[in-house]
């Protein structure tokens, strides 16, 4: 099965004279709606339609996937305008992505495809052993899902492939939010994933996103290095216990995990039990800001405090409000850190660059009556490679402070 057997006659779309064709030639993967000539014919193209992109002089720049309903009106798929998007095309990109991950990791638990950075615009694939979870977050990927599924099974040998349709980006593309099983049977129980000496339980069908956030793996490991035997640690916005379980595995005497989701905390507890650490695990369900305030009122102190909130600034319009939220997190968390202890603050907001996030964090620490040293800046792991031309691919930041 292939999406097509030969390159069909395709629509042609053209950049406006002031569009930055040079950036596209040098690797930028997106064309925004205000950069493209959008006549009646172009506006009628169905989301996911493949077209040949031309510059002002009508020189082909490559094959793009169109979506006139999206701010990102065209995504570059291939520099060859005659490329055929079929099973073989997907397999070539998947093999390249798999080769990198197999070199980096001993076990098949990682992000296999990180969208544009791996040459598959808008496509995220996380692997959990014999299962993969696909997020087709762009219209073209949705319309080529059969070919992608066949190639993914052939290249990796996985027996289960699930579609997760809950991503915010799908709504921006005009896509539905219906999950599906594309191959095999959905697992009936969470899958155990070992990282940094801890065991995490990934719910592939009912959990957040694909079931586990692999992007923090390296930062979990750094936080574990800050733990002395017997330390008390706090993991706020903990999800399934990402930082907390890693620090327990490193010898913490107690880890308190705070999250608003009871199912996520239940998975964290299962992970602690699977690692033989249930007696040192404490869960607090509730709004993170409220729980941080309560802990402060209780006079609680921890040797390491980590806060890994959701994206407070998912877009530029939300940036200022998001930065205030990050500052507030730091203000509430800083007093909970024992003298000489450590505070780790994270952001997955691509609209808040490292400088803005770091400054908001430092302001919050100061407003919390503390001062300290910036020890380390962390990013997503190498299974989340960055496309240098696309700032959004480097969304994750983590800053670690030692507080006086």
Active site residues: 348
Q: Residue 140: name the closest of 110, 181, 175 by CA.
A: 175
For the record, the structure tokens of 39 come out as: 């006549």
Q: CA–CA separation, 268 vs 283, rounded Å?
A: 8
Q: CA–CA separation, 11 vs 19, rounded Å?
A: 19
For the record, the structure tokens of 50 come out as: 């493949």
List CB contacts of 281: < 8 A, sequence separation 6 or more.
241, 244, 245, 248, 254, 255, 257, 268, 269, 272, 273
Give ∠ CA 73-78-83 in degrees, rounded to 5: 115
List CB contacts of 373: < 8 A, sequence separation 6 or more.
401, 402
């Amino acid at each position: 099965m292939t999406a097509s057997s030969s390159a069909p006659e395709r629509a042609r779309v053209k950049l406006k004279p002031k569009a930055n064709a040079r950036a596209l030639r040098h690797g930028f993967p997106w064309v925004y709606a205000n950069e493209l000539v959008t006549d009646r014919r172009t506006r009628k193209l169905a989301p996911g339609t493949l077209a040949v992109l031309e510059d002002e002089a009508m020189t082909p720049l490559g094959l793009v996937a169109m979506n006139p309903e999206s701010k990102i009106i065209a995504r570059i798929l291939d520099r060859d305008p005659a490329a055929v998007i079929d099973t073989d095309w997907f397999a070539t990109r998947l093999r390249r992505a798999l080769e990198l991950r197999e070199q980096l990791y001993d076990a098949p638990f990682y992000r296999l495809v990180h969208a544009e950075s791996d040459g598959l615009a808008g496509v995220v694939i996380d692997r959990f052993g014999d299962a993969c979870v696909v997020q087709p977050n762009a219209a073209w990927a949705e319309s080529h899902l059969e070919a992608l599924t066949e190639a993914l099974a052939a290249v990796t040998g996985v027996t289960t492939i699930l579609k997760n349709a809950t991503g915010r980006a799908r709504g921006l593309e005009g896509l539905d939010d219906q999950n599906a099983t594309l191959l095999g049977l959905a697992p009936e129980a969470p899958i155990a994933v070992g990282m940094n000496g801890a065991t995490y339980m990934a719910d592939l069908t009912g959990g957040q996103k694909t079931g586990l956030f692999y992007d923090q793996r390296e930062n979990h490991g750094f936080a574990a290095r800050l733990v002395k035997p017997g330390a008390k640690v706090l993991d706020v916005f903990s999800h399934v216990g990402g930082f907390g379980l890693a620090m327990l595995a490193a010898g913490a005497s107690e880890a308190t995990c705070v999250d608003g989701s009871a199912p996520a905390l239940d998975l964290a507890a299962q992970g602690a039990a699977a690692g033989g650490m249930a007696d040192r695990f404490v869960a607090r369900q509730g709004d993170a800001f409220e729980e941080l305030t309560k802990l402060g009122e209780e006079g609680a102190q921890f040797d390491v405090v980590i806060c890994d909130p959701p994206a407070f600034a998912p877009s530029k319009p939300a940036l200022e409000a998001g930065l205030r939220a990050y500052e507030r997190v730091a203000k509430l968390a800083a007093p909970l850190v024992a003298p000489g202890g450590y505070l780790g603050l994270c952001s997955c907001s691509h609209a808040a660059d490292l400088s803005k996030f770091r400054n908001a964090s430092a302001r919050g620490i100061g407003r919390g009556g503390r001062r300290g040293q910036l020890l380390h800046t962390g990013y997503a792991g190498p299974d989340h490679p960055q496309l240098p031309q696309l700032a959004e691919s480097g969304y994750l930041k983590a800053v670690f402070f030692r507080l006086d």
